[in-house]
Chain A
């Protein structure tokens, strides 16, 4: 059974960089047809797609976040990562990593809360 697990700091200071890693188990991140994505959800609010990556390194980003986001993949570790620069309080959210197929997230991590505060 495929499992995804987010990890990273739960607290980030304003203007700094948020960094999260998603570790994939029970399957290979190099499988074809799948994209690996990040989705976030501010407290009490809706879901926002951040971006996705293919195992080859091809990326797609939300246009509203594109200038601050980098998603990368490490196939040797079966992991992919998110970096979000210049964070503000508005970036406080639960961050989920997912596996997508035809833009559908069939598998989700449990989510990790990242709070932006000094």
Chain B
């Protein structure tokens, strides 16, 4: 199976909003509402920021939001802060397995 497609990098200035896209197929993102997003800082384990397309775990700021349209999911981060600089990975249920995106490096300018 192929990884979900994400842009290699995105950037934004503090206070701005950025959106990271994640494109899959009608066998994964398009078929299930089980899309999640992870934030990973260097040398650390990933942390879930969004699950089930648009739900936020307790403790995740409401600046983080998720959505889905067809075979594409999106993570939007509003009011960018310096600590948001990290790698972000999307993930989707794909029937009998799980598939990750290739990852997006977010740079806060």
Q: How far does the Cβ of B7 sit from chain A's closest Cβ, in whole Å?
A: 13
The residues in A between 54 and 101 inclusive whose CB is less than 8 angstroms from any CB of B are: 60-64, 96, 100
Q: B residues engaging A (CB < 8 A)?
A: 1, 3, 32, 34, 36, 38, 45-48, 51-52, 57, 89, 91-93, 96-103
Q: In chain B, what residue has the closest Cβ to A102?
A: B34
Q: A residues engaging B (CB < 8 A)?
A: 37, 39, 46-49, 51-52, 60-64, 96, 100, 102-106, 108-111
Q: CB < 8 Å: which of A47, A61, A108, A111 contacts B100?
A: A47
In the bound complex, do residue A102 and residue B52 qualify as a contact, i.e. CB atoms below 8 Å apart?
yes
Q: How many A-B residue pairs have CB under 8 A?
A: 65
Q: How far does the Cβ of A109 sit from chain B's closest Cβ, in whole Å?
A: 7
The interface residues of chain A, by DSSP majority, are classed as strand
Chain B residues in 8 Å Cβ range of A103: 32, 34, 36, 91-93, 98
**Cα A41 to Cα B36 with chains together (Å):** 17
In the bound complex, do residue B45 and residue A111 qualify as a contact, i.e. CB atoms below 8 Å apart?
yes
Sorted from nearest, which 7 A-B pairs have the closest CB atoms?
Answer: A103-B93, A104-B51, A108-B45, A46-B103, A49-B98, A104-B36, A47-B100
Chain B residues in 8 Å Cβ range of A109: 45
**Cα A63 to Cα B94 with chains together (Å):** 11
Q: How far does the Cβ of A54 sit from chain B's closest Cβ, in whole Å?
A: 13
Asked whether A102 and B97 contact (CB < 8 A) given A47-B103, A108-B45, A111-B45, the answer is no
